Amino acid sequence: MNQAKKVSELQNIINSSNNIVFFGGAGVSTESNIPDFRSAKGLYAERSGKKGFSPEEMLSHAFFMKHTEDFFDYYRSKLVYKDAQPNNAHLALAKLEQIGKLKAVITQNIDGLHQKAGSKEVLELHGSVYRNYCMKCRKSFTLDYVLEFEGVPKCDRCGGIVRPDVVLYGESLDRSVINKSIWYIENAEVLIVAGTSLTVYPAAGLIRYYSGKNLVLINKTPTPYDYLANLVISASIGETLKACV
């Protein structure tokens, strides 16, 4: 099937359903110029870790606890893309939700771009840079508070450390977000999975809950689930979805 045919096939699938769920990985945000951690061109290839630490170590719970100031230096410069704008994928998904076709977006990204595009039901498996809280008293803080603070951000009420509500390596995912994601996937008629190689937890595990008949994969490289999909598209996620809405 050529590309144009695949897009029109996806269009048919979208037209025929009012119960679509979207599951997205880093590839959804790379089109907004946010680097993919795990891809060859992503952060991990940089090996620019301060003091000999790899980026993966620097984004771990252990590093955060031990080298909190270095963590925030690294986090502010490499993980936060405040000026990034939603791309065609985010915008198309927001529109699909608005017209009643899409039930939920499940994302591994922490950049808040789905909400910026207007999506309402967004399940953030790895949290969001836009939510921050005091580790002592749980007061909430904005992203700007964390970005503008000199050094380790401290709570203006109790002096506790203010941390981002993002899941670091070595930390567990929020069970309620996982359960809700499973529920949406189990009950979806159409599942569109995009921008993830489906090789790492939790993506690979979550997809197994889908038992419907319309699995669509949009990814630049092959995934271990391609054989289960009705439709595999290896093209820009933004362009593909834009052509369908």
Q: Using the rule CB under 5 A, give the single segment among 6-14, 103-111, 134-142, 224-232 that binds Zn ion.
A: 134-142
Question: Which of 42, 49, 118, 160 is the binder for Zn ion (CB under 5 A)?
Answer: 160
118: tokens are: 């207007």
Question: Which of 62, 158, 200, 228 is the binder for Zn ion (CB under 5 A)?
Answer: 158
In the complex, the smallest distance separating the C-beta of residue 137 from Zn ion, rounded to whole angstroms, is: 3
90 belongs to the catalytic site: no
**Angstrom distance (rounded) from CA 193 to CA 181:** 13
Sign of the CA dihedral with 148 first, then 153, 156, and 157 last: positive
Q: Which of 61, 67, 90, 126 is catalytic?
A: 126
Would you call 20 helix, strand, or coil by DSSP?
strand
Rule CB under 5 A: say whether 134 interacts with Zn ion: yes
Sign of the CA dihedral with 88 first, then 197, 129, and 23 last: positive
Residues 6-45 that bind Zn ion (CB under 5 A): none
Are 101 and 119 in contact by the 8 Å Cβ rule? The answer is: no
Question: Which of 1, 62, 65, 137 is the binder for Zn ion (CB under 5 A)?
Answer: 137
**b/e code 151-181 from CB counts within 10 Å (16+ = b):** eebebeeeebbbbbbbbbeeeeebeebbeeb
Q: Which is closer to Zn ion, CB of 135 or CB of 200?
A: 135
5: tokens are: 């045919």
Rule CB under 5 A: say whether 118 interacts with Zn ion: no
212: tokens are: 């419907």
In the complex, the smallest distance separating the C-beta of residue 133 from Zn ion, rounded to whole angstroms, is: 8
Q: Using the rule CB under 5 A, give the single segment among 101-109, 127-135, 141-149, 221-229 that binds Zn ion.
A: 127-135
Question: Which of 120, 157, 208, 213 is the binder for Zn ion (CB under 5 A)?
Answer: 157
Binding site for Zn ion (CB under 5 A): 134, 136-137, 139, 155, 157-158, 160
Catalytic residue numbers read 126
